[in-house]
Chain A
């Protein structure tokens, strides 16, 4: 303890000395031990041909050459981007819904919150079965409803593009509750007196929303944006459960992570799969970095 304190004094001008390390080290040790080290291993394996059960031979950039020559990579990338774009529509939607839920004096708030929370609690295996029945082309609920208004619905889960849209809708559905919880926490941090002052000034609800709620919520919105993009790029469980492994439309619908999983765990090509993982890592890494650069322009920080 004494050592820490003297250290703190020594570097007082530029840094806060040893204190910050006390705060971050417990986390960093775990993160490095359980996550960073595996990533380094994965990076190494991406340059090897890896036996299914271990034992690797260095093959240089061969996996990457094969990866970039595979048209499936680009299709998976495109699918992932489309999926992410659709799920991102949920961000403005959840900002709006969360702020509605935050309306002072609104009744049944807890009940609404519970409803929006439900999809987030769902077990993917079970709930995707329900969705499969809803989207079923011959006997599904959705096409039945569409028929009522005179539209002949497609075979959602087996038609190119429609399958991706169906999966994206479910992805959007299940992400709303999550975003709303995070945004709800941000809304709690906005001092209520700001609204009271605005009200005295005679500002309308929508005006309050755009001039107080949104700007003060930008840090949370930024956070939700980053997390939504990152997690959308990890699309796997939902896709797998909704379409099934033996769906003819899967190659045209699969995501990057499905592509990774298929190479590594189904086709047993772990070296190649590592290259896919590193590609995903680099790609979202760049996207996230760019977002952090851009945030200064629009995120309201104190």
Chain B
């Protein structure tokens, strides 16, 4: 086998190489014909692309439900740049990053694409995406128009690579009818951990015979334990990205918050919550509260309990805190249509484009002052909470290889959530392993 293969390998490779060279040459010549002004080049300088720039761009996204709003944006963009043709490539979430990694390894990434927090530093540190330093300097994009926590998410070593296109925060979805049924008074807007814990426990006890719980303590970073870790004054990863916070007492208190709810029966247990997710318990009227993201509004709004729902701010622990995450549009550093891609990136960051995104109900747009459509989309539910929480929200915790320690969280935390080990034992174990993973990143 080795003999045959190696004999075949060399000529084949040569052929591939030649063809690759030929096709690259063809592409390059096609490009130089297309992009008339090479404006918007690399580095710090940014000159807006000429209006007659012609190019074919690929814009990769993962959410089919936003395509209508994107198409509307592109119409506006093409009014400015009639000769830039944009193909929107929708890749399902499950395959998006696999595809992007493959393309990044082969230097054939889409010109413009969606980036999220956990993956950002990986692509930025490997030089796969282009900074927006030039755009910011030239005033084409002003980071001040967006939440600073979100800007920070897309800043790597002091360099900005994108601004958010949308955001999500977390709120407490409350089923008022179940509160009433249990005879528990509705929460106040400035409630505390203690208030919340007592409400959850009371409801679970009173409605136990009906299989109804006060809360669902699902094990999910963004919606459950990250916010409470911050509220307890703890951290998941140190600001310099080198140290895990899981062995600090504050962070452990944030975890303990949830494990206690499971232990005293305020919430279904881990197994129940894995087989039937928290949102399902809530929309089926089997849970009085659900700590969930702003994105849950579509599902909750079309459920039978929609009319009983109200959103409350998260209860305050040692401090009031929330978690914010948002998606950003980033340009591939190796894009052959850099100028055109930047023009589109700038356009999509504009107030006009984001206002349109918000008005079409796709997302909460990130540009400050464009979110009224979102707040009004469910009258009487007080979606405004999700916007107000931005003030106290911390950026979603990430590092260069976020996924590596996310896997550790998923693998180790269950022992704490199902009560087989103490939170501090799991916390220190997780911290040790996470620190090792972080050390590997350097």
Contact, CB under 8 Å: B101 / A266 = no
* Interface positions of B from 79 to 113, Cβ below 8 Å from A: 97-98, 101, 104-105
Q: Are A137 and B418 in contact, with the CB atoms below 8 A?
A: no
Q: Does B407 belong to the interface (CB within 8 Å)?
A: yes
State whether A268 and B219 are in contact (beta carbons under 8 Å apart), knowing that A157-B274, A248-B270, A248-B414 are contacts in the complex: no
Contact B275 A155 (CB under 8 A): yes
Q: Residues 40-55 of chain A: 1 if any B CB is under 8 Å from the residue's CB, otherwise 0?
A: 1000000000011110
Q: A51-B126, A157-B274 are in contact. Are A267 and B403 (CB under 8 A)?
A: yes
A265 contact from B4, B97, B104, B276, Cβ within 8 A: B97
Set of chain B residues within 8 Å of A250, measured between Cβ atoms? 410-411
B413 and chain A: residue at smallest CB distance: A248
Q: Could you tell me if B8 and A32 are in contact, using CB atoms closer than 8 angstroms?
A: yes
Query: In whole angstroms, how far apart are the Cα atoms of A265 and B410 in the complex?
Result: 16
- Taken together as a complex, chains A and B put the C-alpha atoms of A194 and B404 apart, in Å, by 61
| A218 CB, nearest partner CB in chain B, Å | 28
- Give the bracket for the number of chain A residues in contact with chain B: 35 or more
Q: Is A33 an interface residue (CB 8 A)?
A: yes
Q: Is B157 part of the contact surface with A, judged by Cβ < 8 Å? A: no
Residue of B nearest to A267 (CB): B404
A244 at the interface (CB under 8 A from B): yes
Given A52-B126, A157-B274, A244-B274, does the pair A40, B5 have CB atoms closer than 8 Å?
yes
Select one of B105, B122, B274 contacting A158, CB under 8 A.
B274
Within 8 A of B (CB), among A197-244: 244
> Would you call B271 an interface residue if the criterion is a C-beta within 8 Å of the partner chain's C-beta atoms?
yes
A246 with B410, Cβ < 8 A, contacts A53-B104, A267-B404, A268-B404 known = yes
User: How many Cβ-Cβ contacts under 8 Å join chain A to chain B?
Assistant: 82
Q: In the bound complex, do residue B101 and residue A136 qualify as a contact, i.e. CB atoms below 8 Å apart?
A: no
User: With a CB–CB cut-off of 8 A, which chain A residues contact B9?
Assistant: 37, 40
Q: Shortest Cβ distance from B256 into chain A, in angstroms?
A: 18
What 1/0 mask marks residues of chain B from 400 to 442 whose CB sits below 8 Å from any chain A CB? 0101100100110010011000000000000000000000000
Is B376 interfacial (CB 8 A cutoff)? no
Check if A159 is an interface residue, CB within 8 A of chain B: yes
Residues of A within 8 A of B8 (CB): 32, 36
Closest to A49 in B: B440
Q: How long is the Cα–Cα vector from A210 to B429 in the complex, in angstroms? A: 58
Asked whether A145 is an interface residue with its Cβ less than 8 Å from the other chain, the reply is no
Residue from A36, A53, A139 in contact with B128 in the complex, judged by beta carbons closer than 8 Å:
A53
Residue of A nearest to B410 (CB): A246
Q: Which interface residue of A245, A248, A262 has the most chain B CB atoms within 10 A?
A: A248
Binary contact track A107-140/B, C-beta < 8 Å → 1, others 0 = 0000000000000000000000000100111111
User: Is B272 an interface residue when CB atoms closer than 8 A count as contact?
Assistant: yes
Q: Which residues in B have their C-beta under 8 angstroms from that of A132? A: 275
Known: A248-B219, A265-B101, A267-B403. A155 touches B272 (CB 8 A): yes
B105 touches A54 (CB 8 A): yes
Distance in angstroms between the alpha carbons of A269 and B436 in the assembled complex: 14
Give residues in A with beta carbon < 8 Å to B. Answer: 32-33, 36-37, 40, 51-54, 132, 135-140, 155-159, 244-251, 262, 265-269
Q: A246-B410, A268-B122 are in contact. List 17 more A-B contacts (CB 8 A).
A: A32-B4, A32-B5, A33-B12, A40-B5, A51-B126, A53-B104, A53-B126, A53-B128, A54-B105, A157-B275, A159-B271, A248-B410, A248-B418, A265-B97, A265-B98, A268-B403, A269-B404
Give the top 5 A-B pairs by smallest Cβ distance, nearest first.
A248-B414, A158-B271, A155-B271, A267-B404, A158-B274
